[in-house]
């Protein structure tokens, strides 16, 4: 019994990651960046290929729609290549790029909110029956627990959802998230604690404990 408890406790203290090696930030040689600024297409391609997957997934995790995420990825790299001369080497390149991607994603979300309001208004005016949409993510939800957690995640406000996504999906450290969002580390901790608490409550609700 004591041994089982120790095993359980060890599990609590082990970090929650799927692939810890992936998390290691790749060093960004200053040479590559200066080549990109000079307009070297090979350097630009190398930079884009290195980060496009991360940026796409970040955008997708925020806006949901893959085609919109592709659009955001392209916009992010266009903006980053233009702003590259203003990038300061003392800051993490990945964090800098993520900040640009996040700003573009938020901008898309704002546009979408406006569109949704418009659609709601039109629906009300023309009395169109609002049919329940079958979301594509339904297919990848395996059980009730996952559904409950997924719903809870999407009911959260944007600041809490983003820190969870950056922490768990992108496996970033608190310091990195703080740099990306330009918010102090204490606030990041606080948002994460609160977000986890909400998810925990969702699971308890499913169990009937809540």
Partner 1 sequence: MQITHEEARKLIQFNADEALISQKKAILFAHLQDCTECRAYADDIKEVESVLLPLMKRHWNLRPVPLSINTLTAHRTSKIQTNILLTTRTAIIGMVFAAFALVVWQFTVSGQRTATPMPINVLPVPTPSTQSTSTTSMIQNCDQILYKVREGDTLQRIAFEFSVSKDEIMAANNLETEAIRGTMELIIPLCNFTPTVTEKPTTLTTTYTPVTIPLSSTPDG
CA separation for the pair 200, 111 (Å, rounded):
32
8 binds partner 1 per the rule CB under 8 A = yes
Q: Of 1, 4, 7, 13, which one interacts with partner 1 (CB under 8 A)?
A: 13
Site for partner 1 in 76-95 (CB under 8 A): 77-78, 81-82
Number of H helices, E strands in the chain: 10, 0
Other beta carbons within 10 angstroms of residue 154's beta carbon come to 11
Strand, coil or helix: what is 29?
A: coil
CB 53 within 8 A of CB 66: no
137 binds partner 1 per the rule CB under 8 A = yes
Question: Which among 90, 49, 41 has a CA at the least distance from the CA of 73?
Answer: 49
| Least distance to partner 1, CB of residue 169, Å | 4
Question: Which among 156, 57, 148, 40 has a CA at the least distance from the CA of 102?
Answer: 57
Q: Of 97, 164, 180, 181, which one interacts with partner 1 (CB under 8 A)?
A: 164
Other beta carbons within 10 angstroms of residue 145's beta carbon come to 13
Give the per-residue contact string, 95-114, with partner 1 (x = CB under 8 A; - = no): --------------------
Binding stretches for partner 1 (CB under 8 A): 5, 8-9, 11-13, 15-18, 39, 41, 44-45, 48-49, 52-53, 56-57, 60-61, 66, 69-70, 73-74, 77-78, 81-82, 137, 140-141, 145-146, 149-150, 153, 164-165, 167-169, 173-174, 189, 192-193, 196, 199-200, 203-204
């Amino acid at each position: 019994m004591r041994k089982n408890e120790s095993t359980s406790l060890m599990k609590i203290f082990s970090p929650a990651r799927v692939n810890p090696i992936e998390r290691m930030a790749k060093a960004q040689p200053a040479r590559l960046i200066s080549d990109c600024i000079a307009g070297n297409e090979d350097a630009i391609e190398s930079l884009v290929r290195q980060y496009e997957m991360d940026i796409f997934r970040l955008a997708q995790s925020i806006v949901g729609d893959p085609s919109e995420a592709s659009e955001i990825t392209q916009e992010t790299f266009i903006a980053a290549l233009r702003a590259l001369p203003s990038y300061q080497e003392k800051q993490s390149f990945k964090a800098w790029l993520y900040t640009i991607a996040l700003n573009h994603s938020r901008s898309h979300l704002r546009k979408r909110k406006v569109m949704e309001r418009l659609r709601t208004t039109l629906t009300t005016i023309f009395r169109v029956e609002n049919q329940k949409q079958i979301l594509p993510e339904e297919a990848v939800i395996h059980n009730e627990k996952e559904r409950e957690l997924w719903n809870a995640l999407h009911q959260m406000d944007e600041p809490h959802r983003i820190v969870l996504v950056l922490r768990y999906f992108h496996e970033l450290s608190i310091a990195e998230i703080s740099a990306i969002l330009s918010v102090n580390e204490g606030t990041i901790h606080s948002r994460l604690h609160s977000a986890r608490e909400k998810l925990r409550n969702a699971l308890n609700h499913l169990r009937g404990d809540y």
